[in-house]
């Protein structure tokens, strides 16, 4: 990426799981950054981060933090993005936001670069990063959707603890050590709830997968029925998908298309017990897919197993790819 111009960049939530992964990816892809500003809340002030051999002090996030900053990647939650993302945008800074603050705003593009990069052509200084489960679902599904059309998707997610952030991880480690379990325990447990419940009985996370899919694909007819579950895995979101296609499709067609799709890797050799798992995909850029098999219920429907690193492609890498696309 050396051909890209030098930029002034702020990372909001720089000491969090996603913020640190963003810095790691920026180093790997060698973006040319003239000025880097690391921003966080009061509890993280004066922490230091080493980036390309230079020590950076974490600064306090405030309304003046974005003066002379061209781009900002936000990974600090909906409330922070809702307040400071708007402030940054008004300063002329282009905000790439990892939270749910702006995703369903009609004036804000919701982008997976491999799918709808053209949506970046129109923005008002705010661009939304999709939900990590939506990214994992759509990256391998999109090339199949484009070729065969899709009537509906039924998906159950097995989402790792890192998707809930450091407090949830701390709760898990505390429970693992035998400390008091407050509320619903995560250690040695599976929780069929991610985010708050809506009036229709689905959680906000489940509705995100439905609504974000429609917005990214520009298709209000496609149906996504999701059940989102938290599992005691550190990193890596898994998804069991049932996809009903509109047109006739064979399993060889699916393999052929997925094997040449950018950002997707097929691991599907059940004879040798090879299929994607969270351990296998940790630290990888691609979304992995396996266990592809025809439905026993209806024609032109297939079951699939999808796994991706939720902190990497599910958040940090997608944000950096958006930045690269803007440049």
- pTM of the model as a whole: 0.95
- Our separate counts of H helices and E strands in the chain read 10, 14
In the chain, where does the domain assigned CATH 3.40.50.720 lie?
Answer: 7-129+315-326
Residues 138 and 115 sit within 8 Å (Cβ to Cβ): yes
Nearest to 212 by CA among 126, 131, 101: 131
What's the pLDDT tens digit per position in 104-122? 999 999 999 999 999 999 9
* Annotated active-site residue in 93, 228, 237, 308: 237
What's the pLDDT tens digit per position in 228-243? 999 999 999 999 999 9
Which strands, in side-by-side order, build the sheet including 264-266?
223-230, 150-159, 237-245, 301-308, 287-294, 264-266
The β-bridge partners of 233 are none
Structure tokens at 278: 């969270």
What's the pLDDT tens digit per position in 50-67? 999 899 999 999 999 999
**Three-state secondary-structure class, residue 149:** coil
308 is catalytic: no
Cα dist. 137→112, 126, 314 in Å?
11, 23, 10
Nearest to 228 by CA among 209, 215, 212, 211: 209
Residues 112 and 127 sit within 8 Å (Cβ to Cβ): no
**What distance in Å separates the CA atoms of residue 294 and residue 201, rounded to the nearest whole number?**
30
**What distance in Å separates the CA atoms of residue 306 and residue 147, rounded to the nearest whole number?**
19
What's the pLDDT tens digit per position in 257-308? 999 999 999 999 999 999 999 999 999 999 999 999 999 999 999 999 999 9
**What distance in Å separates the CA atoms of residue 70 and residue 95, rounded to the nearest whole number?**
9
Does the structural domain 133-310 have CATH classification 3.40.50.2300? no
Does the structural domain 7-129+315-326 have CATH classification 3.40.50.720? yes
Q: What is the pLDDT of residue 45?
A: 80
In the chain, where does the domain assigned CATH 3.30.360.10 lie?
Answer: 133-310
Angle at 315 between CA 306 and CA 278, to 5 degrees: 35
Cα dist. 17→27, 170, 269 in Å?
16, 13, 33
237 is catalytic: yes
What's the pLDDT tens digit per position in 67-80? 999 999 999 999 99
Exposure letters 141-174 (e unless 16+ CB within 10 A, then b): bbbbbeebbbeebbbbbbbbbbbbeeeebebbee
Q: Which of 1-10, 14-23, 118-127, 171-180 has the lowest mean pLDDT?
A: 1-10
The β-bridge partners of 290 are 305
* β-pair type (7-12, 33-40): parallel
Phi-psi region of 138 (alpha: psi -120 to 50; beta: other; left: phi over 0): alpha
Q: pLDDT at residue 92 above 90?
A: yes
**What distance in Å separates the CA atoms of residue 100 and residue 79, rounded to the nearest whole number?**
9
Task: Summarize the chain as % helix, strand, coil (round to 5).
Answer: 35, 25, 40
Angle at 76 between CA 75 and CA 79, to 5 degrees: 130
DSSP 139: H
* Annotated active-site residue in 93, 132, 228, 308: 132
């Amino acid at each position: 990426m050396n051909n890209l111009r030098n930029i002034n960049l702020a990372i909001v939530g720089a000491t969090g799981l996603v913020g640190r992964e963003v810095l790691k990816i920026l180093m790997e892809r060698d973006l040319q950054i003239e000025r880097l500003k690391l921003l966080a809340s009061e509890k993280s002030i004066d922490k230091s981060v080493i980036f390309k051999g230079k020590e950076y002090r974490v600064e306090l996030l405030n309304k003046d933090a974005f003066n002379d900053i061209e781009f900002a990647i936000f990974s600090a939650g909906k409330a922070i993005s809702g307040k400071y993302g708007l402030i940054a945008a008004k300063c002329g800074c282009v905000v790439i936001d990892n939270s749910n603050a702006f995703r369903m705003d009609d004036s804000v593009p919701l982008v997976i670069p491999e799918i709808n990069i053209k949506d970046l052509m129109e923005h008002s200084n705010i661009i939304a990063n999709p939900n990590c489960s939506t990214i994992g679902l759509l990256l391998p599904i999109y090339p199949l959707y484009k070729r065969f059309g899709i009537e509906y998707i039924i998906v159950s997610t097995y989402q790792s603890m890192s998707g809930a952030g450091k407090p949830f991880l701390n709760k898990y480690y505390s429970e693992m050590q035998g400390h008091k379990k407050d509320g619903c325990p995560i250690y040695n447990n599976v929780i069929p709830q991610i985010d708050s419940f809506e009036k229709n009985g689905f959680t906000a996370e489940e509705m995100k997968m439905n609504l974000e899919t429609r917005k990214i694909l520009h298709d209000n007819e496609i149906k996504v029925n999701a059940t989102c579950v938290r599992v005691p895995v550190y990193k890596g979101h898994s998804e069991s998908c049932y996809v009903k296609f509109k047109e006739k499709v064979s399993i060889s067609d699916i393999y052929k298309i997925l094997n040449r799709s950018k950002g997707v890797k097929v691991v599907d050799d059940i004879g040798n017990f090879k299929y994607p798992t969270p351990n296998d995909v940790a630290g990888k850029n691609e979304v992995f897919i396996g266990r592809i098999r025809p439905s026993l219920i209806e024609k032109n429907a297939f079951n699939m197993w999808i796994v991706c690193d939720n902190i990497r492609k599910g958040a940090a890498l997608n944000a950096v790819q958006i930045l690269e696309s803007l440049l």
